[in-house]
Chains A and B, each alone.
Chain A
């Protein structure tokens, strides 16, 4: 009766895609419908049994309930199911992983596939089953690459460690991205370093998808020393076709171009001083002015019409920006610091602090934003255009910084809260309803560092633009890479005193000292408790905090709209009778968590 389940570190035990349309006739063997099956070494008989039975029983249940099956559980395994037309996906995980996480993971996998291959049916018409099976295998191994069990619970964006990286480097990265965006064919971008995000302008969901390609080219470049050439610019640059959902595209269009959702992206308050500072810090600074200003407004307009069916506010941009321009006139007074050493430091700290605050603040807005979302869109779009103009004079950002940081939270949050089971769901819907929009993913690799840009198709054929983006960013990327490389990869080892996990739902980032080393055995109780609490938080909207305790372990969980934190204190004597007792150490967990986690940048106050 007492069945202690062994910790299964493998995230997924089964994953398969079955195409029912291939098995119509009586004589059709089930294997014809199996598009991909993981683990691949599973005997074909068993594959057929699983696919046939699960797909069959799910169809029966769907008909009974007039709704597709969402989850299916066996005694030893739980499956997230996705049914679309004749396609049937099943992702099976250990029963300890929260159901909500398994479902998210399956949606994520399907989304990745669609991002790189376009609509499912179409890609299976165009490509062989084997080619696409290799893709599924690749995506599956990518999503399972989390270093410890705790990554089975939270689908998160891994970022460079903010505590070890000089914030100026992050600023630098953000600036590189902005510089690239001067080319109007560039939609948005991110900078990644060895599988971690340095800076991104995209939503976490989109960034996660882009990172699949990054890790792919990284392993390739490791193998063949960077010979993945696909364009005139030579070795380190590659490109691949990708597909955005309409909602993703709308989001891109509605966002300020210098919007930055990276958790560490410094706000732009100190834009002017950065030049002097950066020129001292980094080996080479691209002059932002070096880009011809002629590109800005006209080109922005030139591409906006064809992607603005959904967002009319783009077209009247010139008039809007001129309407806005009076506001900009007082701005230069805000940024008079030419090259203040000390002043820069303080200013920077201030701004950083400010950024933190306003990020947190965005969560507070959340609900209001949903109410007048469209308005925000329009505003954001206007600001986008305005910013490009402002950039010319080089000193407008300061005014925008506050708004932008706030706004980015706003826009993003909107995307999340409008479609409750976050954007990927609408992405899946759009698979069925509206087509995916093809774009290109441009990647420029400098050793471990990658500049990834989502670009219009025209970009790849526009040699001038490409060269410009390439050359304008090359030196900065080199410099950034050199600095990031020199930072020792410090793993946040378990401090021994406590274990914690802090998940930022808006930025999809996880801060934790669960290392997963030595099999994760000592951390397993924490992960197990976290898994349960996570399910509970997901089920119960009103739940704010919880303490659960058994004979050996007490774990505290708390959440706000934007974040959720789990904490366990390791102490010798938890033993007691279990009768209510104020002296019980379990009840001091909230205050301990508040104190201990401050130094990890987690504020629970």
Chain B
């Protein structure tokens, strides 16, 4: 009984995802009010009809709704992102309010990664999410639905997606070899090839299921944020679902939500999932995915910059991912800068009419004017989109800069908006519309070469890696060193990495926690603990200990400076209930925290989290001692007793 709906303010369905149970429930609800024999309308129309009163009431209220619960424990969570209203529903008790809110934020993140700055314009995003063409719409929605399902599956089963940090395969020697190989051989070779069509490989990494074996970034690449990396792992998993949990719960099976029959090609994200079985040829696997990632340059942070993502499967479960910079990416930088300028201008016009801020703005705007004139000229009027931009820009200039024109006042606000829409349109044209006749990409041969090189390098390690990914940390020593310790998760929030013993609960594999019900019970406890501690963290509490049933849980969050010196704890902000979820995937909460804990500018602050599960019979002093040991040793492999 799950549903996620994105609707416009006029209750038009921009996207929906429901599981079979909820779909049935909705159809029954609707059918009850229908006359006998009448055929049910399209599902999205039913949804739109039934949710319309909520959507309309939402925009009527001054202080908007954030959630509803009903007596039978259905939960509705609502959140508006710009002009899109997201509604997430759960009716089976498997998700709580915070899970639903997180799901919405993750969905928004995935849409940003897929559509970039087009998301900044409500009108364009509406068109993008709901293509006029039915076939195209079905294909897009199917892809997004698959992404949600892949994410949900990972969040429910993978510890790294539980805490939203990347898990590395712990094998320092192999890891080092691979990084060296990526740097010296692979990336160098790719970037010096003539077949790269102007693209430049910035990042290359190897995934074993969801775990990172090696990650290499070229020297002139910006740091890839944890949030983006996690989003990319979701996309890679969506393309090549790992079968690590196949005997437990097949992602294939969970993917049969929209279509009554899982389409055989549902692995391919872009494939058809249409009820009418439209013959849509699956996209060429060598065609990269356009992804929009945050980059930080010397002069600041630039969100949603276009990249191409190549997912090259080495073996089932092992994937090589390449991220390239595309030749036209400079346009995105400019568009972003102009968008920012118009945004600032709009804010100033809104705030202070005739105030000092407004007086200052013409000065800035002259600069913008010059640059934008050049920018428009460079685009050339050939394309329809740039012609439109030119028209709106001319009109804007007439109003703002003409001697006898109205100048910079509130009347200019709609024109700021128009400019922003036009800029987003340019961005869309440059980065979202493929010129089908000549796709921009590394040549297929080059991709195959890279794949082969990597396969050759890892051939002997393949089986080891697949096993290792299921049992990353073997905890053979901990009954001796840490009696009573059942489980722990340690997260380095500055690097976005986590360490935890594996919690495999499939029937076939036995983890240290045994298998079957016990392991499942402990898993549910760990998942519950993470939820609980986030709740307290949201309200400003950074240390939590709980005695719950037969277990004793601890949670600690602390800050260190670069040299490992423990910083005094600071007052953590108290956030409202509907604030963005605590985590990194959708929004990096810890970045905010690190900012708060800074004593002075320029200081690098590291942030760590430790969660432990002990047996309740262990005295608290011993438990705290264990926590202390884990906290101080875990990040130093040489001293780590568990590695």
Interface residues of A (CB under 8 A from B): 1-5, 49, 53, 56-58, 60-77, 95, 528-529, 532, 536, 540, 542-552, 554, 575-582, 584, 586-587
A579 close to B571 (CB less than 8 A): no
Q: Give which listed residue, A58, A65, A554, A577, contacts B91 with CB less than 8 A.
A: A65
Q: Specify which chain A residues have a CB less than 8 angstroms from the CB of B544 in the assembled complex.
A: 546-549
Q: Give which listed residue, B528, B540, B545, B554, contacts A550 with CB less than 8 A.
A: B540
Known: A63-B29, A71-B68, A579-B556. A548 touches B543 (CB 8 A): yes
A-B contact pairs, 14 of them (CB 8 A): A2-B573, A3-B576, A53-B61, A57-B53, A60-B53, A65-B70, A67-B71, A70-B71, A75-B578, A77-B63, A540-B528, A576-B568, A579-B628, A581-B624
Q: Does B223 contact A (CB under 8 A)?
A: no
Inter-chain CA distance A56–B57, complex, in Å, is 8
Inter-chain CA distance A64–B576, complex, in Å, is 28
- B569 → A minimal CB distance (Å): 4
Known: A70-B71, A75-B66, A582-B624. A2 touches B575 (CB 8 A): yes
Q: Does B38 contact A (CB under 8 A)?
A: no
Number of A-B residue pairs with CB-CB distance less than 8 Å in the complex they form? 191
Smallest Cβ-Cβ distance to A46: which chain B residue: B62
Given contacts A66-B72, A544-B549, A587-B620, 16 further A-B contacts (CB under 8 A): A2-B575, A53-B57, A63-B50, A64-B50, A68-B71, A70-B69, A72-B67, A95-B577, A543-B547, A547-B544, A551-B568, A551-B570, A577-B567, A578-B556, A579-B558, A584-B543
Q: Specify which chain B residues have a CB less than 8 angstroms from the CB of A548 in the assembled complex.
A: 536, 541, 543-544
Residue-wise interface mask of B (47-67) relative to A, using a CB-CB cutoff of 8 A (1 in contact, 0 not)? 000110110011011011111
Inter-chain CA distance A252–B614, complex, in Å, is 47
Q: Does B355 contact A (CB under 8 A)?
A: no
A578 close to B54 (CB less than 8 A): no
B556 close to A580 (CB less than 8 A): yes
Known: A67-B70, A545-B546. A1 touches B621 (CB 8 A): no
Interface positions, chain B 528-546, Cβ under 8 Å from A, are 528, 532, 535-536, 539-546
Q: Specify which chain A residues have a CB less than 8 angstroms from the CB of B572 in the assembled complex.
A: 550-551
- A43 → B minimal CB distance (Å): 13
Residue-wise interface mask of B (613-627) relative to A, using a CB-CB cutoff of 8 A (1 in contact, 0 not)? 000000011001101
Q: Give which listed residue, B535, B559, B571, B621, contacts A582 with CB less than 8 A.
A: B621
| Of B57, B64, B608, most A-chain CB atoms within 10 Å | B57
Q: Give which listed residue, A69, A546, A550, contacts B542 with CB less than 8 A.
A: A550
Q: Specify which chain A residues have a CB less than 8 angstroms from the CB of B567 in the assembled complex.
A: 577
Q: Specify which chain A residues have a CB less than 8 angstroms from the CB of B528 in the assembled complex.
A: 540
Interface residues of B (CB under 8 A from A): 26, 29, 50-51, 53-54, 57-58, 60-61, 63-72, 74, 76, 89, 91, 528, 532, 535-536, 539-549, 554, 556-559, 566-579, 592, 596, 608, 610, 620-621, 624-625, 627-628, 630-632
Smallest Cβ-Cβ distance to B50: which chain A residue: A64
Q: Give which listed residue, A66, A540, A579, contacts B631 with CB less than 8 A.
A: A579
Smallest Cβ-Cβ distance to A552: which chain B residue: B571
B68 close to A58 (CB less than 8 A): yes
Known: A65-B91, A75-B578, A545-B547. A551 touches B571 (CB 8 A): yes
Q: Specify which chain B residues have a CB less than 8 angstroms from the CB of A56 in the assembled complex.
A: 53, 57
A550 close to B53 (CB less than 8 A): no
Q: Give which listed residue, A57, A68, A95, A577, contacts B568 with CB less than 8 A.
A: A577
Known: A4-B574, A64-B29, A66-B72. A580 touches B627 (CB 8 A): yes
Q: Is the interface of A mostly helix, strand, loop or mixed?
A: mixed
Inter-chain CA distance A551–B537, complex, in Å, is 12
A551 close to B65 (CB less than 8 A): no
- B318 → A minimal CB distance (Å): 37
Inter-chain CA distance A57–B59, complex, in Å, is 12
Q: Specify which chain A residues have a CB less than 8 angstroms from the CB of B570 in the assembled complex.
A: 551
A546 close to B546 (CB less than 8 A): yes
Q: Specify which chain B residues have a CB less than 8 angstroms from the CB of A53 in the assembled complex.
A: 57, 60-61
Q: Specify which chain B residues have a CB less than 8 angstroms from the CB of A58 in the assembled complex.
A: 68
Known: A552-B571, A578-B569, A580-B610. A547 touches B543 (CB 8 A): yes
B628 close to A581 (CB less than 8 A): yes
- A282 → B minimal CB distance (Å): 48
Q: Specify which chain B residues have a CB less than 8 angstroms from the CB of A74 in the assembled complex.
A: 61, 63-66
Inter-chain CA distance A49–B596, complex, in Å, is 40
Smallest Cβ-Cβ distance to B624: which chain A residue: A582
Q: Specify which chain B residues have a CB less than 8 angstroms from the CB of A552 in the assembled complex.
A: 571
- B541 → A minimal CB distance (Å): 4
A575 close to B536 (CB less than 8 A): no
Inter-chain CA distance A200–B453, complex, in Å, is 85
Smallest Cβ-Cβ distance to B612: which chain A residue: A580
Inter-chain CA distance A581–B528, complex, in Å, is 24
A587 close to B545 (CB less than 8 A): yes
B66 close to A73 (CB less than 8 A): yes
